Amino acid sequence: MRFICSYCHAYAYEESKGDPTTSLLPGTTLAQIPDDWRCPICGKGKEYLIGADDQTFSQTESIYETRRKGQAPKDIDYYRSIAREMLKGVCGAYSVCDGGPDKICYGQKFGKPIGFGGAGQGTTFHRNWTSLQSYRLLTRIVKPHHEPEMSRSLFGQRLAMPVAVASMSGVKNSMNAAIPEEDFYRGVLKGARSAGTIAMVGNTADVPDDLGVRCVAEAGGQGVPVFKPQVQERLLQLFREAEAAKAPAVGVDLDGCGSVAWSRAKKPVCRKTEKELKELVGSVGIPVFFKGVMSMEDAAAVADAGASAIYVSNHGGRVLDSGLGVADVLPSISKEFHGKVVILADGCVRTGYDVLKVLALGADVALIGRPLARMSLAGGGDAVKLYLDYVKSDLRMAMIMTGCNDLKDAGPGIITKV
Ligand SMILES: Cc1cc2nc3c(=O)[nH]c(=O)nc-3n(C[C@H](O)[C@H](O)[C@H](O)COP(=O)(O)O)c2cc1C
């Protein structure tokens, strides 16, 4: 029997031939394909395989063959299929990355590394998705046409769009050790720069803790180091390194105090007092921000400490299960602080449409994590740029469709909660 994937229409499977790419031996019937099998092109499960007539099958087979021989255009799907291979068992590189119950990253890992998923059962990761998707964009098209103006300043840098790369790290622990950690940072830094924006770089326990800031220095300061909330003395040294690297800003992911990987590596990470935040802010001459804010109280403490930005985030749901989604808390934080302190936000931002919603909920800049991590792994800077370009073109379209001429128009009036 012959089948094609009804989701992507780019995968063909013939039972008598099997498929070496997905380890199916010749003669494996549809019923015998394991339940965790995924389409190597789009990541959907075997339930998407449908019987195909001769003509449909041979058309689809030739698309699949082209891809397998590496003659496929280097588009986002191409890089996703490479990432899927690199992240086997960790991430299905699905076309919808929502941390949902049907995804391999969902569910408890019982002490094993969480890969691309979330803490505990992964419900906070998924909540980021459901909370953001509970907002809908409103169409406004009867008005004079205007090419959307979408550039924005952040930390003294002019960004081509209100989008940046979230700080990520941990290739060894979370990404099957697929590439060296420094190449992962280089990919996001280069891709962001060539797309006209900026990347943050994370801080992991299994490489020297200043690797990220050294990569930022190598990139001529075109990147923002974000350090774990380590002991204060070390953090102050790392802040000075960031300033010396000519980084436009430096941050701490305060919620990194919940990092299992750092505790396991016996590298202390801890909560920080407002006094310590003030000391960090005063220790360098570049803007300082704090990431991991999910409550009014923490937002107020960060603002009172003199930070240049409040970064609303729950670390992609990786540090606290059963937490709120970012879109659950962003509107109230923004109501109090918008216009007084820069507001950054991330959490299941996947498209330009999502970016526009995050802006409408009160952020100045939206940041993207997992999709860009996959791009950096699979294709370095070129792939990261490709994804950011795609987000930018969707954002342009979203602004046209919602009547936004510039980012000032992207207020609460363009969305509704359903
Ligand atoms: C694999 C992985 C590693 C991460 N490492 C860090 C890190 O080192 N520092 C940090 O501040 N945040 C880290 N994060 C969180 C991201 O900065 C960001 O908050 C989150 O990924 C946003 O959600 P999204 O992935 O759904 O877009 C990491 C996230 C992932 C998925």
Query: For atom 29 of ligand 1, which residue has the closest CA?
Result: 168
Q: In which band, very low, low, confident or very high, does the pLDDT at 147 lie, cut at 50, 70 and 90?
A: very high
Distance, CA 167 to ligand 1 centroid (Å)? 6
| Structural domain spans, the chain | 2-72, 152-417
255-289 pLDDT, tens digit per residue, is: 999 888 888 888 899 999 999 999 999 999 999 99
Task: Decide the pairing of beta strands 365-368 and 200-201.
Answer: unpaired
Query: For atom 14 of ligand 1, which residue has the closest CA?
Result: 168
Distance, CA 67 to ligand 1 centroid (Å)? 30
168-188 pLDDT, tens digit per residue, is: 999 999 999 999 999 999 999
Query: For atom 6 of ligand 1, which residue has the closest CA?
Result: 168
Tokens 């979408």 — which residue? 150
Whether the pLDDT of residue 343 is over 80: the answer is yes
Tell me, what's the pLDDT at 59? 85
Ligand 1 atom with the shortest distance to the CA of 291: 11
Please, are residues 277 and 253 in contact by the beta-carbon 8 Å criterion?
no
- Confidence (pTM): 0.88
5-56 pLDDT, tens digit per residue, is: 987 788 999 999 999 889 999 999 999 999 999 988 878 889 999 999 998 8
55-104 pLDDT, tens digit per residue, is: 889 988 988 888 777 777 889 998 998 899 899 999 999 999 999 999 99
316-336 pLDDT, tens digit per residue, is: 999 999 999 999 999 999 999
Query: For atom 8 of ligand 1, which residue has the closest CA?
Result: 202
3-state secondary structure of 283: coil
Tell me, what's the pLDDT at 85? 86
- Tell me how far apart the alpha carbons of residues 4 and 205 are, in angstroms, rounded to a whole number: 43
Ligand 1 atom with the shortest distance to the CA of 166: 17
Task: Spell out the residues 6+ positions from residue 155 whose beta carbon is closer than 8 angstroms to its own.
Answer: 224, 248, 249, 286, 287, 308, 309
Decide which of 3.10.180.10, 2.60.120.620, 3.40.50.150, 2.20.28.10 is the CATH code for 2-72.
2.20.28.10
Tokens 């000391």 — which residue? 279
Task: Spell out the residues 6+ positions from residue 176 whose beta carbon is closer than 8 angstroms to its own.
Answer: 86, 87, 88, 89, 90
Q: Most distant CA pair in the chain: distance in Å?
A: 71
Pocket (CB within 6 angstroms of ligand 1)? 116, 128, 166-170, 174, 202-204, 226, 253, 291, 313, 315-316, 318, 346-349, 368-370, 373
Segment 347-376 shows an average pLDDT of 98
Q: Do domains 2-72 and 152-417 have the same CATH topology?
A: no
Please, are residues 384 and 191 in contact by the beta-carbon 8 Å criterion?
yes
CA–CA–CA angle 162, 167, 169 (5° rounding): 155
Q: In which band, very low, low, confident or very high, does the pLDDT at 161 lie, cut at 50, 70 and 90?
A: very high
Distance, CA 212 to ligand 1 centroid (Å)? 14
The dihedral sign for the CA sequence 26, 77, 8, 418:
positive
Mutate to test the pocket of ligand 1, among 129, 133, 167, 314 (most ligand atoms within 8 A of CB): 167
- Tell me how far apart the alpha carbons of residues 100 and 123 are, in angstroms, rounded to a whole number: 8
Distance, CA 195 to ligand 1 centroid (Å)? 20
Tell me, what's the pLDDT at 264? 83
Q: Domain 152-417's class?
A: alpha beta
Neighbours of 45 (CB within 10 A): 19
